Amino acid sequence: MLIPREKVPALSVPTLNHGTFDLTTETAERGTVICFFRGLHCPICATYLKEFEKQVDAFAERGVASIAISSDGEERTRQMVETVGAEKLRFGYDLPLSVAKDWGLYISTSRGKTSIGIEEPALFSEPGLFMVTPQQTLYYGAVQTMPFVRPHFKELVGALDFAIPNNYPARGEYTGAV
C-alpha cells in the first residue's frame, strides 16, 4: 500500500507525443495528477478521460501536470486518444503490470470482448488516480477494483483550491499501531 507523504514507486513510460514520461523529471510546481486507466476496451474509461481532458488547463493553472497511463500498447493508446478527442492530455502507454502492482493497482484477467466489441487484453490494470508532489511523494490516491464510481476531476481541482492556500497536508500517513 502506498503511504501519503512517502515516496511513490518509480514510474517511467513512453508517451504518444511528449517523449518519455519519467516522474522523477516532472517539473510542475505542485506535482502531477496520474490517471491509470484500463485501456481502449473500456468505454467508461473513455468517458472518464474526456472529463480529465476538460480539466487539464485547470490543473495547469494550479501548477499541476496531468497524464493518463495504461498498459495498452502505442496503437491502442492512439485509438483511445482519438476516441476521447484529447488534445491537451498526455497519454502514456506500455505500463508494465509489475509497476501497476507496485502502485497498488488491481490486475484483472480478460473476459473477452467488452460491450463496445473490443477485446480485453489477457491481463490489465484497473483504474487508479493519484496526485504526486514534486518530491515524488503521495499526496492523494484512489484505486478501484472495477471501472465504476471514480473520483471526479473537477472535485480534485476544487480540493486543490482549498489545499493550496491552506497548505493542507496529505492525509492518511499514520502507520503505527491502532
Each residue of 127-152: pLDDT tens digit?
999 999 999 999 999 999 999 999 99
User: What pLDDT score does 101 carry?
Assistant: 99
Return the bridge partners of 124, or none.
Answer: 108
What residue ranges in the chain does DSSP mark as E strands?
12-14, 20-22, 31-36, 64-69, 90-92, 107-109, 123-125, 128-132, 138-143
Region 26-39: what's the mean pLDDT?
98
User: What pLDDT score does 113 carry?
Assistant: 94
Per-position DSSP letters for 98-143, written without gaps between them: HHHHHTT--EEE--SB-TTS-BPPSEEEPPEEEEE-TTSBEEEEEE
Q: What is the mean pLDDT of the chain?
A: 98
- Does residue 153 fall inside a structural domain? no
Dump pLDDT digits (tens) for 51-67.
999 999 999 999 999 99
Model confidence at 31, pLDDT cuts 50, 70, 90, reads very high
- Does residue 130 fall inside a structural domain? yes
Domain extent at residue 71? 12-21+28-146
- Does residue 86 fall inside a structural domain? yes
- Does residue 90 fall inside a structural domain? yes
- Does residue 69 fall inside a structural domain? yes
In Å, how far from its chain's centre is CA 145? 14
How many domains does the structure of the chain reveal?
A: 1
User: What pLDDT score does 165 carry?
Assistant: 98
Return the bridge partners of 137, or none.
Answer: 7
Which cell is 160 given? Answer: 486543490
In angstroms, the CA 103 to CA 2 distance is 7
Report how far apart, in Å, the C-alpha atoms of 151 and of each of 49, 52, 96, 148 are: 12, 11, 24, 10
Residues 6+ apart with CB under 8 A from 32: 23, 26, 64, 65, 66, 67, 131, 132
3-state secondary structure of 26: coil
In angstroms, the CA 47 to CA 140 distance is 22
- Does residue 139 fall inside a structural domain? yes
Region 87-105: what's the mean pLDDT?
99
- Does residue 158 fall inside a structural domain? no
CATH number at residue 115: 3.40.30.10
- Does residue 159 fall inside a structural domain? no
